[in-house]
Each structure stands twice: as structure tokens, then as C-alpha cells.
Structure 1
Amino acid sequence: MSNSYAQAILRTTDVAEAVRVAGLLLNLADTRELEVDFEAGVSTPHDLERLSEVLPDADWWSYGTARRGSSRSGDSPSECLPIFMSRWCLGPDSVEAFLAAARNVPAMVRWDFSGWPAAPEIGLGCGGTRGAYVTVCVNARDVYLEDLATDHTVYVHVKQIEAQRSTWLAAQVGLQVIGELQMAPV
């Protein structure tokens, strides 16, 4: 696992607005090789059923004080709740169904693409694949899905050495950064 550095640029109670802003950012990016990753913290059998329908074959593992199972062990996820589900490398057409299934579950959609555009006004060339992501966290205010909330946060990911790209990207879509740059697992 590698890391990127994420910075929040929008917090909203409207998930459609968060996805719209993610789309504006993706319009700036080199998306010739676009993949989407999904993660969710699941606590109830009903949430598990809904999310399993849109994330078939998802990897999962239990979390919290009662850690006791995972997909790798062949356990039943319904017997190991709460669990954390993860499914990588799906197409962008999966986003709407995933967000509809997530409802009030802390969840994350991360778009992974080929790179950010050049930002000559701040001295940066095109960014490569490392650190080129857009993330929407629903019902959570952090990329780890630990700070639960009733709102949703949009993050841009950049290389740590190119931290100023976050501010530049936010400005390109009429926003500004919120908070500090933070390490994010990818």
C-alpha cells in the first residue's frame, strides 16, 4: 500500500453537489485510465445486504474491539459485523448505485486516474499517477471513515512535494482548501 496526500476542498450536506464537484475536478484530469475504488463501514445486516448487491466480491474485514473475521478467512460477513468493505478498480458507472446503497453508511468513492494537469502559474508540470485521485467521503469527514458526520467531504490528492497543487485545483473549480494536507492510504 502506498500513500497520497489529501486535502479537503468542499464539505456539503448534498451528496449530489459533492459528486458534481468531483466531476469538475475529473474534467481537469487525464482520465484516459480511470478506475474507481469504493469503501464502506458496515454495521447492520440491512446495510450489508444493500452494499453487497453493488459491490459483489468485495474484500472485507471486521473492525473494532470484536475483530473476528475477513473475506480472506472465508468467514460470513453477516456474522462478523461491524465490517469494513472494499472494492477496487470498478468503472465510473458504478458510483451512482454505490452511493444510493450507502445511504447513511460512512463510505468513500475514490477516482484513480493518470494525472493532474500542468499548473505553470505555480511552477508545476503535469502530475503523474501517484497522488492523482479525487475522493468523496459520505457521512464522514476524513478519508479513514472514522470521523462520522451527516455531511460529505470532497478531497483532492496530490504528491506531498506538490502540496500547493491542492490550492490550485480547488481554485480551478471555484473553491478553496479546507484544513490541512493529510496522509491518505491508497
Structure 2
Amino acid sequence: MSNSYAQPIMRTSDLAAAMRIVQQLLDLADTTELEVDFEVRISSAPTLTALMGLLPDTDWWAEGDRDGSSGTGDDPAMHLPVRLQSWAMPPAPVDLLLKSTRNAPAVVRWDFSGWPEAPEVGLGAGGSRGAFVTLCVNSRDLDLEEPAADHTVFVHVKHAEAERAPWLAAQVGLQVIGDLVMAPH
């Protein structure tokens, strides 16, 4: 499996505005197969309680070199800070998950069937590899290593189709605001 490449197209402190851009991008995409991946770094018990209530059977692990994980049946509250991750979810619970993150850094990635044709830059429709939109909440990066008071929207493309990222940004009235970077799996 090869990685996608992501490029930021929006940074804002207005989460609702970021979600509107995500929806506009999804409206362009082939979403016949749409699922969501979610990851969050949790440092507080109230945030942990809220998210575990929404995702009771999700995977989590202690941050850093510390022991503790869902795989060993540990209590996550005894191992804060932790990372919580849920894959291949339906998109419906995203709003509730984002409300429950509070100020914790989180990533939501929408995975779908493909991007549309971009004839202005010589590209046909893109397949599912490299077809994602990511919203980093309270973080500037895809790995949740740069906490922030704002939110960043990334479009993902195949490296060989890098010109699709600025084209997608233009379709929603924006432009790229950073470099194209290899995205984590």
C-alpha cells in the first residue's frame, strides 16, 4: 500500500467553516463508498469519558514509552495521555465526535471512491488511492504533533497527480497554503 500526499488548503479557528469546506470537497468526490477514520490525543479524563462513551470498543494506547492499551484490557483513565483511534466508521457520528474532543488534537479523515476529472490540469478521474480529505482539529499536522488553537483542512492526492491538490482547492474557492507532504497511513 502506498501513502497519499496531503496538502493544506485552509486553516481557521472556525470549526464550522472548516466542516463546510470538507463538505464542499466531499460534494465534488465520488462518495459511493465513504468511511471515516478518527484519531485523537487525549490528556483529560472528561474528554476520555466522552469519547469512550461514543466509541466504547475502539483501540487506544498510552503515549510515549509507557505501557497500557486496549489490547491488554487496561483502563485508559489510568494511562493518560492516550491516543484513541477508530477506523472505517460511517460518517454520521463525526459532529458528535468533534464536539467531544473539546480542545484535544484530533484528525478526521474521509476516505472515498475517488476525485473527479480535473481537465484543466490534464487529469482524469482519480481512484480511491490518494482520495481523502482530512480535518486536523486543534492541530496543524496529520500526526497530531503540533497542537494549535485552530483547525487545518488537507486534500490528499497521488504524488504523480500533485497538481490535483491546487485544482481541488480552487474548486472550493481556496488555494494551497503549504507544502505537499507524505501522509501517514
SS of 1:56 mapped into structure 2: coil
Q: Distance in 1 between matches of 2:154 and 2:106?
A: 13
Q: Is the 8 A contact 1:2 1:185 kept in 2?
A: no
Q: Match of 1:118?
A: 117
SS of 1:37 mapped into structure 2: strand
Q: Match of 2:4?
A: 4
SS of 1:50 mapped into structure 2: helix
Q: Please, which runs of 5 or more residues in structure 1 have no aligned partner?
A: none
1:18 equivalenced with 2:38 (yes/no):
no
In the alignment of these two chains, the number of paired residues is 185
**1:165-184 matches, cutoff 5 A:** 165-184=164-183
- Deviates most, 43-52 or 146-155: 43-52
Q: 1:56 Cα shift?
A: 2.4
1:98 equivalenced with 2:97 (yes/no):
yes
Q: Is the 8 A contact 1:157 1:166 kept in 2?
A: yes
**1:22-171 matches, cutoff 5 A:** 22-64=22-64, 66-171=65-170
SS of 1:178 mapped into structure 2: coil
- Deviates most, 108-117 or 44-53: 44-53
Q: Distance in 1 between matches of 2:180 and 2:56?
A: 33
Q: Is the 8 A contact 1:60 1:84 kept in 2?
A: yes
SS of 2:39 mapped into structure 1: strand
Q: Is the 8 A contact 1:132 1:157 kept in 2?
A: yes
SS of 2:123 mapped into structure 1: coil
One-letter amino acid of the structure 2 residue matched with residue 44 of structure 1? S
Listed one character per residue, the Cα deviations across residues 106-131 of structure 1 (whole Å, up to 9, x for unaligned) are 01111100000011111111111111
Q: Distance in 2 between matches of 1:166 and 1:179?
A: 11
- Deviates most, 72-81 or 39-48: 72-81
Q: 1:2 Cα shift?
A: 4.5
Q: Distance in 1 between matches of 2:4 and 2:75?
A: 32
Percent of pairs with identical residues: 60
Q: Distance in 2 between matches of 1:54 and 1:28?
A: 29
Q: Distance in 1 between matches of 2:178 and 2:69?
A: 34
The normalised TM-score by structure 2 is 0.97
Q: Distance in 2 between matches of 1:177 and 1:54?
A: 34
The normalised TM-score by structure 1 is 0.96
Q: 1:46 Cα shift?
A: 1.2
Q: How large is the Cα RMSD of the aligned pairs?
A: 1.1
